[in-house]
Amino acid sequence: MKAQQIDHVYNENFVHLQINHPFIVNFEGLAQDSRYLYLVLELINGGELFTYLRDVESFTTDQARFYGATVACCFEYLHNKNIIFRDLKP
């Protein structure tokens, strides 16, 4: 329960409540038990892009363009809301 962790959770919650974009996983809310705090996110079947990329080893040019464009759209949306996302993972 360090103050830095609490601030991080508040900031994460604040940012998630401000965004609504088709290429960004929806934030459903918070839940907690006696030990943990949970960020509840929308279920996206298929897993993470990184896992998919690891399984297929490489994308076709069209796939790379599509995924690159969706990420660029997300950054554009977030930056237009003055939100900087620095933890990008495929």
Active site residue 87: yes
Q: How far is CA 66 from the centre of its chain?
A: 17
Distance from C-alpha of 61 to C-alpha of 66, rounded to nearest angstrom = 9
Active-site option among 33, 55, 62, 87: 87
Please list the active-site residues: 87
